[in-house]
Structure 1
Amino acid sequence: MTAPDWWQEVGLPPAAGRVLQHLVTHPESTAAAIADELGLTASTVERMLRALVEELLVVRVGRRPTRWSASPPRSAMDALLQRRRAQLANVELQAERLQEEYAAHLDRRFASDQFEVLDTPQRVTARYEHLLRSAQREILHLVMPPSVATSAHPERMAAQADAAARGVRFRAVYDASTFDEELSLRTARDGLAFGGEVRLSRELPMKLVLFDDAAAIMAITPADPAAGSLVVYSPPLLRVLKALFDELWEHAAPWSTEPTASQPPPDRLAIDPRSARVLQFMALGMKDDAIARVLGVSRRTVQQIVSDVGTRLGARTRFQIALQAQAAGWLGEE
């Protein structure tokens, strides 16, 4: 953030910061001189001076012609910050009053500020986007079918990209069956594109989104997205949900869109990377079509890889292939 932009944090436009900085080093300047020096219009400088006078940051020191100087910065800024703190304290008080009215009039199933029921897709989307923009450290997803969305949300993806740009970490565990849906696969790829991390698992226990340690959204009935969602604010329950995510993340299979080369293994105990990926996804219960979409290859290629691996192992069925591939160490530790 540049020096002029810093002034936005205290409610002043960047141009006001430029004018004040100029007056700090050029006391008793006229508005015309400020405009010439900074390349601003006369009307803009006049507006900025009025704003700075209201905040007691500059003073008039002459009238013929009118000249301006900066107030002592330390004391002037201390006074400004005190006023902003008082304003924020009043906002906090009003927020508490609004929360009390909200709790009193909203028809919720839980008479507590530790939970909130969102009974329409519009409310779920609005709360998700609010929590997304408020997140500071990390956002964690457990994704399983059926998908709530029927089409892509470019606004949501843009908001996720903005959050990633400000340092928020995204991690997601997708149920392998989710990639039977083209939209879910596209969403996962979009997440990887802005720096998110994706892993695959099978038979996830729930749909879940965790925002820092502040809130979580979980589907009330995972199989029925229309049944609504529950927002959790309870710190003990959030810690339990975070521990659940960490456990699932630890045992999930990493996934990326990086291409995997198919090279002949040197011996029977080795396997090329692409064949290993196919076996891992097959062990997760993914269908051939979904594996092909994930790897960016044809369904026939997937079937040929499975057939070739079966021939090498002397296995006839997929179950036998999975067992012998696990014994050979081709599926990892799990």
Structure 2
Amino acid sequence: MMHTKLREALRLLGVGETAGRVYLTLLDLAPAPLAAVGSAAGLHGAELTAAYAELVDAGLASGAGGDGELVAPVPPAAGLEVLARHRAAELEESRIAVGGAFESFRRHRLAAYNDDLVEVVTGEAIGPRMRRAWASAREQIRQFESPPYVPVPGATDDALATLARGVRQRVVYAREALEHPGHLKDVIEPCLEAGEQVRVLPSVPVKLLIIDEAFALVSLSIREADVVNTMLVVQPCGLLSALVALFEQSWSAALPLHGRAARPGGLEPTDRRLLRLLAGGAADDVIARELGVSRRTLFRRLQILMARLGAANRFQLALQAQRAGWL
């Protein structure tokens, strides 16, 4: 189980599957000759050399002796920082590319579409159109969620009803969604406990709702005015495929928050909410406001949680809480 989690963590950081096998073998055998490591991992020749070179380039392995015969893993802090920054840069590059392509489409091509590939919905028609979209889902819903929000009475009930029908829901929330007053407690957590799969990113590139493989709803928000006044309904086409690909890449890079499947004994709901807000990057004032406590009480709860998990700081607390299934 531990190797499976570590292999997945390495994959998310951009380490290839073959290089990951070599790294896991290094952890078991090192220091050892590279040939022996390769033999244990079932690799030889150029394939082994390339995998080991990938680990060296990532700052995860190096020679363990002056003669260069022995190899071993090295303290990963610097290497993991480089890998994490590289993955963040890749995601940002993809976000800019897809966002730019969509913006160009919106500005220059939308008016030319006369074949019903894109429908424009405005004003008061947005809420009913969204509710019909939720009701039409049969297999899965994928969503980017962030403020500003359009008032849709019964939206949370619709999501819960969709989950009850067995429709898979995957949502990537922007950090602002967790910080929006009452949103974590009243909207996110009820759906999370009902089986919604939730992940968090510092920001999402666009407000998006993808229904099965049938169509997508794209919100054109005016952030400065905190309103949503226009929405595009995108039917199957190259643009829909690009939006699906953007969601899947963002989903892979986002931080998971777990619900009822991972409920540690003795963890109060307030502490669970605290950890979710902390992992999402919320500021102390926001966390205290959402929990309804003073800053002093917040700091005391943090100290207790760090002591329970053996964490020396908040970063370690979020990391250990994730490993323990507390998020």
- TM normalised by structure 1 equals 0.50
Q: Displacement of 1:261 after TM fit?
A: 6.0
Q: Aligned partners of 1:213, 1:299: CA distance in 2, in Å?
A: 46
Matched, 1:136 2:138: yes
Percent of matched pairs sharing the same residue: 29
The aligned length equals: 205
Matched, 1:182 2:185: no
**1:84-128 Cα distance to aligned partner (Å, 9 max, x none):** xxxxxxxxxxxxxxxxxxxxxxxx8453311111121x2111211
Q: Aligned partners of 2:175, 2:241: CA distance in 1, in Å?
A: 25
Letter in structure 1 aligned against 2:228: A
Q: Aligned partners of 2:200, 2:299: CA distance in 1, in Å?
A: 20
Q: Displacement of 1:313 after TM fit?
A: 7.6
Q: Aligned partners of 1:255, 1:292: CA distance in 2, in Å?
A: 20
What does residue 285 of structure 1 align with? 281
Q: Displacement of 1:221 after TM fit?
A: 3.0
What does residue 192 of structure 1 align with? 192
Q: Aligned partners of 2:199, 2:294: CA distance in 1, in Å?
A: 22
- TM normalised by structure 2 equals 0.51
Q: Displacement of 1:143 after TM fit?
A: 0.9
What does residue 166 of structure 2 align with? 167
What does residue 157 of structure 2 align with? 158
TM-aligned CA distance change 1:322 to 1:119, over 3 Å:
same
Q: Aligned partners of 2:187, 2:271: CA distance in 1, in Å?
A: 25
Task: Determine helix, strand or coil for the equivalent of 1:210.
Answer: strand
TM-aligned CA distance change 1:222 to 1:200, over 3 Å:
farther
What does residue 303 of structure 1 align with? 299
Q: Aligned partners of 1:174, 1:200: CA distance in 2, in Å?
A: 5
Q: Structure 2 residue aligned with 1:118, among 117, 121, 142?
A: 121
Q: Structure 1 residue aligned with 2:246, among 226, 244, 247?
A: 244
Task: Determine helix, strand or coil for the equivalent of 2:221.
Answer: coil
Task: Determine helix, strand or coil for the equivalent of 2:144.
Answer: strand
Q: Which has the higher contact order (CA 8 A, sep 6+)?
A: 2
Letter in structure 2 aligned against 1:115: V
CA contact (8 A) 2:172 2:254 kept: yes
How much is the aligned-residue C-alpha RMSD, in angstroms? 3.8
Q: Aligned partners of 2:195, 2:242: CA distance in 1, in Å?
A: 26
CA contact (8 A) 2:139 2:212 kept: yes
Q: Aligned partners of 2:211, 2:294: CA distance in 1, in Å?
A: 37
TM-aligned CA distance change 1:131 to 1:226, over 3 Å:
closer
Q: Displacement of 1:293 after TM fit?
A: 7.0
Q: Aligned partners of 1:283, 1:161: CA distance in 2, in Å?
A: 24
Q: Aligned partners of 1:260, 1:182: CA distance in 2, in Å?
A: 26
Map 1:41-80; keep pairs closer than 5 Å.
none
Q: Displacement of 1:260 after TM fit?
A: 5.3
Map 1:252-271; keep pairs closer than 5 Å.
252-256=254-258
Q: Displacement of 1:137 after TM fit?
A: 0.6
Q: Displacement of 1:208 after TM fit?
A: 0.8
Q: Aligned partners of 1:148, 1:296: CA distance in 2, in Å?
A: 26
Matched, 1:228 2:224: no
Q: Displacement of 1:190 after TM fit?
A: 2.7
Matched, 1:204 2:204: yes
Matched, 1:147 2:146: no
Which sections of structure 2, spanning at least 5 residues, go unmatched? 1-109
**1:29-65 Cα distance to aligned partner (Å, 9 max, x none):** xxxxxxxxxxxxxxxxxxxxxxxxxxxxxxxxxxxxx
CA contact (8 A) 1:257 1:295 kept: no
**1:220-275 Cα distance to aligned partner (Å, 9 max, x none):** 23514333111111432222211211222222222245665679xxxxxxxxxx98
